[in-house]
Amino acid sequence: MAKSGKFCAAVFSLAMLLSAQAGYAIDHNFNERDYILGNPDASVRFPQEAFDLAGQLKSQRKFSDAEGILLDHLNQARKAAPGTDKLGQYMVRLNNVLFDGGKDDLAIKYGEIASKILNKNFYRSKDSIGWLVNIESYLAMGYNRKHRYKEAVQKYTDAIKLAEAAPSGKVSSSWIDTLKHQRKDAEKNAASWH
């Protein structure tokens, strides 16, 4: 028990240190192009530690903590890596944390940017296909929860196509089956939604 308490205290201290060092205000009103296009600022370091820590916190179901860390470092990530797969993956993680925390509007907003970044780069390099399937899946689920069923069906379809085209081992067959089942439900809801 003492070891896990020390570990939690160390993680919390690191999170606070990283947040304090970032010093960026959270502004959800932004120009999408600043994320998708542009050249990396070599004077700004990508916040890899924040990205990794948020992943650990997400796996511990500490969504609010992970969200805070990712949002605190978002501007830094954007400046360091606009339009890159690295920023796309950062945005996917932010989307996932926001979705898991029930913040669907923000999850969709940031998720759409991640989707645009990763789709833009997909035809040059297929290294991020797992991340791309993830974001299309989470966007589908987010749209579904918001009763935006036509958009959900489209995102489920996109996720399924990508997952089926992915190299073996990148996406499990059970996840593809889950997506197909959820797409059917969204199609039924779209047909009956007034």
Cα 186 from Cα 153, distance rounded (Å)? 6
pLDDT for residue 194: 60
Cα 152 from Cα 145, distance rounded (Å)? 9
Residue ranges of domains in the chain = 8-114, 126-194
Contact present, 46 and 78 (Cβ < 8 Å): no
Q: What backbone torsions phi and psi does residue 14 show, to the nearest 5 degrees?
A: -65, -40
**Domain 8-114 - what CATH class?**
mainly alpha
Residue with tokens 């996720």: 159
pLDDT for residue 56: 97
Torsion region of 134: left, alpha or beta (phi above 0 gives left; psi -120 to 50 gives alpha) = alpha
Torsion region of 85: left, alpha or beta (phi above 0 gives left; psi -120 to 50 gives alpha) = alpha
Splitting the chain (194 residues) into consecutive groups of 10 residues, what average pLDDT does each group show? Answer: 46 42 48 87 97 97 97 96 95 98 96 95 80 97 97 97 91 95 95 79
Cα 181 from Cα 135, distance rounded (Å)? 18
Listed in sequence order, the residues at least 6 apart from 126 whose beta carbon sits closer than 8 Å to its beta carbon are 167
DSSP 105-155: HHHHHHHHHHHHHHHHHHTT--TTHHHHHHHHHHHHHHHHHTT-HHHHHHH
Count CB neighbours of 156 within 10 A.
Answer: 27
Cα 145 from Cα 137, distance rounded (Å)? 12
Q: Which of 52, 41, 34, 113 is nearest to 80 (CA)?
A: 41
Is residue 23 classed as helix, strand or coil in its secondary structure?
coil
